[in-house]
């Protein structure tokens, strides 16, 4: 009798037949074929004998027991993740724009403030205020950065003298220079060899207080200036 299945095909069907997972038609073909392979018949008996014990083990209930709370824990973790995502999206929707607006406001406020000082200084020069007010170092630095010397400033003041009743005699330049030199002397007693103080650019070495002192002294020496 020629088997309907080859040995390889019979081997491949053996486990499913042993565990009762072959269809009726395939089972019949297998039973007919295995008779031709006695060693496989013996193997089938061994497998069925051993696995009959394994089949008694209730793997399903063990797994059922182990996995019974997974769905609850998954839902909890999902809820936690969603809550985190919501808080993050709230952060992006509300907090970040608010912080940006505040930062921009601070930036514009600080920019406007320095702009205000610049306007104040120029209004002083334009003579709208008829006296010299406190001049901040930032303003001085603006003037100096634009390479504006004291003489140029004074010349600007003199040019407005008719309108503003400010009168600065030309010889006062020497007085001012002397005052600046007097104020700078303590700091320039030991000048660095590489950067000696340039008398023509003495304004660069002044701070707020020194400028104020010079202006006060200037008003004492020549009250008609202010």
Partner 1 sequence: MMYSLTYALNTDQEIIKEYCTGDSNRAATLFVRKYQKFVYSAALRYLRSHDDADDAAQEVFIRALKNLKNFRGDSSIQTWLYRITLNVCTSISRKRKFVSFFTHDDGSEIELVSDSITPQQQFENKDFEKHFEAMLRQLPEKQRETFALRYFEELSYEEISKMLGTSVGGLKANYFQAVQKLAKLLKNSEFMQKWERI
User: Which residues would be at the binding site for partner 1 (CB under 8 A)?
Assistant: 8, 11-15, 18-19, 21, 43, 46-47, 49-51, 53-54, 57-67, 70-71, 73-75, 77-78, 81
Looking up tokens 């074929």, which residue turns up? 33
**Toward partner 1, which CB reaches closer, 88 or 95?**
88
Nearest approach, Cβ of residue 102 and partner 1 (Å)? 35
**Toward partner 1, which CB reaches closer, 30 or 203?**
30
Residue 134 near residue 216, CB atoms below 8 Å:
no
Contacts of 74 (CB under 8 A, 6+ apart): none
CA–CA distance, 43 with 49 (Å, rounded to integer): 10
Nearest approach, Cβ of residue 38 and partner 1 (Å)? 16
Nearest approach, Cβ of residue 10 and partner 1 (Å)? 10
**Toward partner 1, which CB reaches closer, 71 or 145?**
71
**Toward partner 1, which CB reaches closer, 77 or 160?**
77
| Nearest CA among 1, 56, 53 for reference residue 31 | 1
Contacts of 28 (CB under 8 A, 6+ apart): none
Nearest approach, Cβ of residue 92 and partner 1 (Å)? 20
Nearest approach, Cβ of residue 44 and partner 1 (Å)? 10
**Toward partner 1, which CB reaches closer, 14 or 140?**
14
CA–CA distance, 12 with 205 (Å, rounded to integer): 99
CA–CA distance, 193 with 86 (Å, rounded to integer): 65
**Toward partner 1, which CB reaches closer, 13 or 202?**
13
Nearest approach, Cβ of residue 113 and partner 1 (Å)? 51
Which pairs with CB-CB distance under 8 Å and at least 24 residues apart come from 42-51? 43/14, 44/14, 44/17, 44/18, 47/14, 47/15, 47/18, 48/18, 51/18, 51/19
């Amino acid at each position: 009798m020629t088997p309907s299945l080859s040995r390889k095909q019979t081997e491949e069907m053996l486990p499913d037949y042993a565990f009762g997972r072959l269809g009726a038609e395939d089972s019949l073909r297998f039973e007919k074929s295995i008779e031709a392979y006695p060693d496989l018949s013996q193997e089938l008996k061994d497998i069925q004998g051993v696995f009959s014990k394994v089949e008694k083990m209730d793997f399903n209930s063990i797994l059922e027991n182990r996995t019974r709370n997974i769905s609850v824990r998954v839902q909890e973790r999902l809820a936690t993740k969603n809550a985190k995502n919501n808080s993050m999206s709230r952060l992006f929707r509300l907090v970040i724009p608010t912080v940006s607006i505040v930062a921009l406001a601070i930036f514009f406020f600080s920019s406007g403030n320095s702009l205000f000082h610049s306007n104040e200084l120029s209004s002083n020069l334009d003579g709208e205020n008829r006296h010299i007010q406190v001049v901040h170092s930032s303003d001085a630095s603006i003037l100096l950065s634009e390479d504006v010397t004291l003489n140029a400033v004074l010349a600007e003041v003199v040019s407005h003298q008719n309108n503003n009743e400010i009168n600065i005699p030309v010889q006062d330049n020497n007085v001012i220079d002397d005052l600046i030199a007097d104020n700078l002397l303590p700091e320039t007693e030991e000048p660095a060899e590489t950067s000696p103080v340039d008398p023509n650019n003495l304004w660069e070495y002044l701070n707020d207080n020194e400028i104020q002192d010079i202006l006060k002294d200037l008003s004492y020496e020549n009250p008609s200036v202010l």
